[in-house]
Structure 1
């Protein structure tokens, strides 16, 4: 099935490929991309024969994060961003679902990352069970640049994957981490020259294993996470809702769009 912006293909072996297909914009997240990813996850939940998922971005990036047009919507006070507290998808809101939805899918999701995985794009990748990345892939918890916190379930995944002081450094500085370091600190599972080929090979191997044991393993490991996802997902939304549209947040966006130093009060 082809959603606008996202292509889903299901192979005979039960391996689905989900491609973020907005290469000209580095697969940036605009309302249509959010919709497409959430729709792809909903479609895959209905696939009884599903064994594994390969998630990747077309072109030179995985996903460059929020589309600039989304910031214009924030600056314009778009109400679409207002009710982040609504749990539209189980534990998650609509924005969180693009990352959290992969965690809740009953089968393993393997992400292949090349180029940028920034901000919301990083969070989508972190929602996968496994991430293969090129050595020169670039990761950033970029929300701070826009006066925001990671709020697409990124706080849950950062808390699970990365040492606490490192998670803080990434969130506070927004610095760009290349693939090799990303693997060393826990953002990536491992680096390889051809992440998509590796992801396909891993998915094929999973698809050849007992689907009962694979699904049971994912449930078991999801349940073993020490992070209270329900509480953290709500906390993300609470913090973000207070920030969005506030004077310093609008100043961060304006300064970023105008390429100047911000003047915070």
Structure 2
């Protein structure tokens, strides 16, 4: 089977259960290395899930020994010949205009929270895919690195822009300049990971289910606001808060939240529906 014939499900598979999308990279024989087909599959699957209004949270993980070992060695051979399709411009996804940037950014762009369950290795592009998630739960022994410096490159899959919002700027520079490998434990200590777990996938699924139990309208608004935080002026951020709260008060799911709280029962929320005057 040629690369052009590879199907999305040969690289990334997903199921949706009770509002939680369980997304898995499944190129096990290559430790989920990023070839052109994997890049395409991540973007395609991300867009499919984003369009499904029944989805309330996403867990992103890798099958086998690693979350994602980084760029496929075949891509390095292509670079030597001056061929690198992942930097060719395509239809934009928000600010991301090339495939290499869209494969991590699609999870940031996703309207619902995304939790990366990281184990084994998350090197180079694999680390950047994990950084595209809202939350990263990692095994203590995980090895993470923005190791592009080893290959005479820079992190170009949104990495240089996203890492500065996760770790201290000087630490971010050290990691980018050197490609140093950090453990899952250190990653959590410096902010590259949210927290460690002996069972990242199980804990990520538990967190996703908790998020999915909340009003999908309020969770989506919260993600929108958190993505603006620190990236726009306070005036714009405050205005966005007010627009969001006005779109929520008095809606069916917000009323259900109040009723359930007053009646001391679990709320039952309807799936997300676009709000007139709010959603484009």
State TM-score, norm by structure 2.
0.78
Relative contact order higher in (CA < 8 Å, ≥ 6 apart): 1
Following superposition, the deviation at residue 225 of structure 1 comes to 3.1
Q: 1:125 to 1:162 in 2, by over 3 A?
A: same
* Counterpart for residue 35 of structure 1: 40
Separation in structure 1 between the aligned mates of residue 86 and residue 59 of structure 2, nearest angstrom:
29
**Contact kept? 1:45, 1:105, Cα under 8 Å:** yes
SS at match of 1:8: strand
**In the alignment, which residue of structure 2 is the partner of 1:232?**
none
Q: Greater CA radius of gyration, 1 or 2? A: 2
Which whole-Å CA distance do the structure 2 matches of 1:81 and 1:2 have between them? 17
Structure 1 counterpart of 2:147, from 142, 145, 161? 142
Check conservation: 2:25, 2:61, Cα contact below 8 A. yes
Query: Is 1:23 equivalent to 2:34 in the alignment?
Result: no
1:81 Cα shift?
Answer: 4.8
Q: How does 1:1-265 map to 2 (within 5 A)?
A: 3-11=9-17, 13-78=18-83, 80-81=85-86, 83=88, 88-92=92-96, 93-226=98-231
Indicate how the Cα distance of structure 1 residues 79 and 5 shifts in structure 2: closer, same or farther if over 3 A, else same.
Answer: closer
Q: Which residue of 1 aligns with 2:265?
A: none
Distance 1:195 1:88, change over 3 A: same
Deviation at 1:227, TM superposition (A): 8.1
Q: In the comparison of the two structures, how many residue pairs are matched?
A: 226
Q: CA deviation at 1:72?
A: 1.1
Secondary structure of the structure 2 residue equivalent to 1:202: helix
Alpha-carbon distance, 1:2 to partner: 5.4
Q: By how many angstroms is 1:82 displaced?
A: 5.4
Cα gap change, 1:65 to 1:213, in 2 (>3 Å):
same
List runs of 5+ in structure 2 lacking aligned partners.
Answer: 1-6, 234-280
The CA distance in 1 between the partners of 2:30 and 2:232, in whole Å, is 34
SS in 2 for 1:3: helix
Question: What secondary structure, in the 3-state scheme, does the structure 1 residue paired with 2:148 have?
Answer: helix
Distance 2:163 2:68 in 1: 18
Structure 1 runs not aligned, ≥5 long = 229-265
| Equivalent-residue separation in structure 1 for 2:110 and 2:23 (angstroms) | 13
Rounded Cα–Cα distance in structure 2 between residues aligned with 1:167 and 1:105: 25
Deviation (angstroms), 1:79: 5.4
CA contact (8 A) 1:160 1:227 kept: no
Q: CA deviation at 1:103?
A: 0.6
How far apart are 1:4 and its partner, in Å? 2.3
1:59-91 CA-partner distances (Å, limit 9, x unpaired):
11000000000111111222525535x563231
Distance 1:53 1:25, change over 3 A: same
Describe the SS at the equivalent of 1:88.
strand
